[in-house]
Amino acid sequence: MLLRIHPLVAAMALVFSSSAFSQTAAHTGTPDQVMDNVLVRASRTDGIAAQSDSVSNEQVRTQRPATSDTATLLKDVPGVSLNSAGGVSSLPAIHGLADDRLRIKVDGMDLISACANHMNSPLSYIDPSNVEQIKVYTGITPVSVGGDSIGGSIIVKSREPRFARAGEGLLTSGELGTFYRSNGNAWGVNAAAAIANENLSLTYSGSTAESQNYKSAKAFKNDVLATYTTAGSHLIPGDEVASTAYKAENHALGLAYRLDKHLLELKLGYQHIPYQGFPNQHMDMTDNKSTQVNLAYTGKYDWGKLEARAYHEETKHEMNFMEDKMYWYGSTANPVMIPGMPMNTEGKNSGLVVKAEINHSERDLFRVGGEYQRYRLNDWWPASFGYDAGGNMTGGMQPNTFWNINNGQRDRFDLFGEWEAAWTARWTTQIGIRSSTVMMNADEIQGYNTTATYAGTTEGKAGYFNAAERSRTDHNIDLSALARYTPDANQSYEGGYSRKTRSPSLYERYTWSNGMMAMTMNNWVNDGNGYRGNLDLKPEVAHTVSFTGDWHGADKNSWGVKATPYYSYVENYIDAACDTTVRACTSTQYNYLKLVNQDARLFGIDLSGYMALGRIAGIGDFTARGIIAYVDGKNLTTGDNLYNIMPLNARLAIDHRLGNWSTTVEEQLVSAKNDVSSVRNETKTGGYALLNLRGSYTWKNLRFDFGIENAFDKQYSLPLGGAYIGQGKTMSLGGTNTTWTSTGNPPLGYTVPGMGRSLYVGMNVKF
């Protein structure tokens, strides 16, 4: 599908290759603005790629009033796309690889989704108002920041501790902020405070955000009739995207002690999400509590730097139906009502990290380290009783508690070493190796009852799983090799190879049942199908080659163009196949699938660039920027397309600044998604173009932000939004209907629509 590009956008595209990052043009006579040290970086290594691209502090601050989802702060990073989920729980994807295939660290903690539907994604545990720095490794990820992943790495840091200068006395500071967004009536507040002397610092940050269901630009479905009011069904307008409401609260307390070149930090975190709807899931999050304890040491020595960290995080998570979803079965005249389908999860995640950076000589830098992560998971579903029209108890989800995973165990031990050498002023190399041992196990499980009929003769039954050898140990090796050549101040070239390995998750290995209901309740890819795991899955191994050419002005402000082509071949890629022990798969309904190892490949290119357009006296400075990204994914074993691959897309913008005013005009262009996964019955989406307008004004310590997202109120489908099953009888996978009816069955073929026009305002004051 061809997209109509506005003349302004076409002109910009001729001037520069699109860019993911804005670089503010030098401006003469414009007063400097002091911003928080909030930085999003997209670098391929810490040392070898010193010219890391960045989103300016101003741009990140501008995004905060427009989103409560930290993952969306990455939308301007080349090669990054977002798999839509709940309002604060998007899953970032790097070059087509997402979720568990990425390494995501928040304040040094490797966080894991403790949910059969991955509703509590790692980046959902920190609010955008508390983010100070993000680094994104999209190319050849060095072993020092990789591990247990085959895609890139995302490293998020919260606010750093502040200390008083020598002789300054007691330092106190604070910050208050609020926002409102028209679509969904979303609102929130955030606060931060700090008190410190030269050696001791105490900080606090907190936030709350909530929203009702958002609306698309126009109706995208027929109204579901409120036939079964006793089951909680209600009439939802055709333009309302059901199950998109949310509320989230975050609190963080930090205590830091600094002495000379040594820093000791203790961070305590608490999160509570009382509810969060998911339009592409059969269930919703009805409660999520997380507590975090994070102790870290950093010391600088004559020989280099030493870092050590110990952390513990616990998550208690509950799923059930929110008001937009219902469940019933039986005949229309005599329906059996299910008042709820509770699903409970508890995850305990502990880790220890020790690493050192050793300056061996002017040429040689070594990084060495070790990591240990201990993860425990319980996933159980209390019995749920149904009642027919006569009030008689019925239904198969009783009388026992269903154990999806019982005492799941995943222990990981890693050692790594990395050597970086600056051979000349122009040539730098880096090589590294990481050894990882992953040990997994789970205890015996049980179904809702011992007489329940599971499909097949052996596979998928509780007895079969309990009798099987469930202990697994994987010995994984990662390798990385990079070289960088910088012939002059206007250009640099960087390329390399990596071998990266990821062991399956607990859900991928130990979800055992091929009962239809249980499989429906296991789905972490948002496609509407039902899933079960596979004890015999092998680790994924990705072989990646990548090259980056970077051309820019000597000042790195006037102009720049960057191109990064890449290719990955993945052995034992964990994909889906039809589970014929349940029923035959068809193209007219949601299906029941099992996980299998197959081979896959992905390739693509990221183009980015910026150009200072100049300054007009009395009007201000102008900078053009943008990105173009393309990725293609194929299952080499079956010939099918990989699921949830972002189509060709671009983001083009012009930034303007005059004194304390700044504005942005942005065009987002997405091509049609026609290459879809057949095994998952993935739905194609059309191309679209959106216009976003943003602005801000700063006066002393007060800042105002305002903007319009989707200014022309365009109707579109989210290409990575998955299947729309946000309302009605969401647990039914048997229907073949293609339109909404009074039965409440969500039909196959509906995608999650994007948000219609939304106006937002935000205010922040520092004191």
Residue whose C-alpha is closest to residue 456's, from 282, 592, 598? 592
DSSP bridge pairs for 450: none
Q: Which two tokens stand for residue 186?
A: 């979303």
Could you write out the DSSP letters of every residue in 62-131? HHGGG-S-GGGGGTTSTTEEEE--STT--EEEETTEEGGGSEEEETTEE----STT--S-GGGGS-GGGE
Q: Are strands 131-137 and 39-42 parallel, antiparallel or unpaired?
A: parallel
Residues 621 and 638: their CA atoms lie apart, in Å, by: 53
DSSP annotation of 8: H
Is it true that the peptide bond before 399 is cis, omega within 30 degrees of 0?
yes
pLDDT tops 70 at residue 93: yes
Position 737, amino acid: N
E strand or H helix at 233 = none
Q: Looking at per-residue confidence, does 389 or 421 come out higher? A: 421
Name all domains of the chain by residue range, CATH numbers in brackets. Answer: 7-766 (2.40.170.20)
Cβ-in-10-Å burial (0-12, 13-18, 19+) of 657 comes to: buried
Task: Please state the rounded mean pLDDT for residues 348-364.
Answer: 97
Give me the mean pLDDT over the 33-54 stretch: 47
Given this model, what pLDDT does residue 697 score? 95
What integer best gives the mean pLDDT of the chain? 88
The predicted model gives 574-589 an average pLDDT of 93
Q: What is the pLDDT of residue 10?
A: 40
**Residue 123 token pair:** 């980046």
Task: Give the model's confidence band at 52: pLDDT under 50 very low, under 70 low, under 90 confident, else very high.
Answer: very low
The three-state secondary structure class of 11 is helix
Which whole number is the average pLDDT over 609-636? Answer: 96
Residues 6+ apart with CB under 8 A from 659: 30, 31, 620
State what percent of residues in the chain have pLDDT above 70: 85
DSSP 21-63: S--PPP-TTPPP------EEEE-S-SSS--S-EEE-HHHHHHH
State pTM to two decimals: 0.91
Quote the radius of gyration of the chain (alpha carbons, Å): 26
Give per-residue pLDDT as tens, 625-643: 999 999 999 999 999 999 9
Give me the sheet containing 97-98, strands edge to edge.
Answer: 80-83, 91-94, 97-98
**Sorting pLDDT into bands at 50, 70 and 90, what band is 323?**
confident
**Are 119 and 89 contacting, i.e. CB atoms less than 8 angstroms apart?**
yes
Measured on CA atoms in the order 410, 411, 413, 414, is the torsion positive or negative?
A: positive
